[in-house]
Amino acid sequence: MPSNLKNKKVLIGISGGIAAFKICELLRMLVKAGASVRVVMTESASKFVTPLTFSALGAESVSTSMWDPGRDSLEHVSWADWADLFVIAPATANIIAKMAAGIADEVLSTQLLAYDGPKLVAPAMNVKMWNNFATKRNIKTLKEQGIELVGPTKGHLASLIEAEGRMAEPTEVYKSIEKILQSKADLEKYRILVTAGPTVEPFDPVRFISNRSSGKMGYAIAEIAKDRGARVILVSGPVAITPPSGVELVNIETADQMLKAIEAKYKYIDVVIMTAAVADYKPKIYSRQKIKKTKSDQNMLMTKNPDIISTLAKRRGRKILVGFALETQNLKAAAQKKMLEKKLDMIVANNPTLKGVEFGSDCNKASIFVKGKRATDLPTMTKSDLAGKILDEVIKLLKRKKK
């Protein structure tokens, strides 16, 4: 294994589960790759594997209790400052619950609460515990805090049944560690807000007007930006896809709610990327009761939604504003016009009626327009690859603005 984690500091938190034995292999892989590793174990974890095993396998230090005589009295803070990454593996339902609630009542949970860097959680538990409502809610809370997860996978559990709850294999955990520690961190200093999906504009409690946006483009941008080190806030309309872990998710339905959600964060944001398909109009009247069918035709009165990105452009400061233009004809001219009218730094133009890049597709074919530069026409590529290209341009704009 190449020594590609040289000088990286990894703190492994082991909680009490039989999968603790897998950490022996993980620790060896990390040490071989050049990482410095410290281990912090709960009391129950040390019933499965002894602390000595981890010291013998190359851990710099192993902490098992708040009350070790040889322990530095500020260890819970100094270790937290030391680490580049805190890996919690195996993570039991109990430690996950403590993380979600902010409980610090033993050595591992105390270190976790004192640590504000990136965390990677590898859950391992019985399938019923994994499917328990409380665990699901706690996992959701962790994801919302930007904490990364790896696994669990489906396979033989300690109870010998085949179900979800098995800790990811050490090689998988290692890959996630590598990904976090080696990411191209060129967006590290920046906070990026991405909007995605459709907005939904209701006109009675059961009906609404919306559009076909899948949210895939915005979710891909959010994920790649996060992988490149940005703090990402994803403001999303209702979509059927899973949000990337490690981003702050804000769910909204209407355009008004989207604007409000962005405004609440706007002050702290460096870049706004609006991929959302915001409904241009909303029903003028909202009926509190379901509208009854009648024998005659019906007209619906519509009123304009706020143009979110134009509203933001009025108070932009040094922020970079990126829009998307979705056109089925005269794509380029319309995109360029939109960029100027909405006072954007950049606009990404695409036509969802082209073959292979239809609504909901994993691919896209786009042209990127940057203010003051010639347009770049890109070939068809995955939405993740396109996200990378968009972010490359965003970086250039951020650097240009700084000068």
Closest to ligand C5P by CB, 190 or 324: 324
CB of 389 to ligand C5P, least distance (A): 17
Binding residues among 230-259 for ligand C5P as defined by CB under 6 A? 255
3 CB-near residues (< 8 Å, 6+ apart):
32, 33, 34
Pairing of strands 366-370, 320-326: unpaired
- Under 8 Å between Cβ of 218 and 197: yes
Select which of 126, 132, 211, 351 is catalytic: 211
Interaction between residue 276 and ligand C5P (CB under 6 A): yes
What is the rounded radius of gyration, in angstroms, for the C-alpha atoms of the chain?
24
Residue count, binding to ligand C5P (CB under 6 A): 13
Bridge partners (DSSP) of residue 166 are 153
Q: Tell me the one-letter amino acid at 40.
A: V
Choice from 119, 338, 365, 383 touching ligand C5P (CB under 6 A): 338
- Under 8 Å between Cβ of 350 and 357: yes
CB burial of 102-132 (b: ≥16 within 10 Å; e: otherwise) equals eebebbbbbbbbbbeebbbbbbbbbbebbee
Interaction between residue 263 and ligand C5P (CB under 6 A): no
CB of 277 to ligand C5P, least distance (A): 7
CB of 345 to ligand C5P, least distance (A): 12
Binding residues among 312-331 for ligand C5P as defined by CB under 6 A? 323-325
Nearest to 371 by CA among 393, 399, 386, 395: 393
CB of 365 to ligand C5P, least distance (A): 17
Nearest to 152 by CA among 191, 189, 126: 126
Q: Catalytic: 131?
A: no
Interface region with ligand C5P, contact rule CB under 6 A, candidates 36-44, 65-73, 172-180, 306-314 = 306-314
Using N-to-C axis directions, what is the helix angle for 133-144 and 93-101, rounded to 10°?
A: 50
Interaction between residue 308 and ligand C5P (CB under 6 A): yes
Interface region with ligand C5P, contact rule CB under 6 A, candidates 56-64, 142-150, 305-313, 354-362 = 305-313
- Give the residue numbers annotated as catalytic, written as ranges: 211
Residues interacting with ligand C5P, by CB under 6 A?
255, 274, 276, 278, 280, 305, 307-309, 323-325, 338
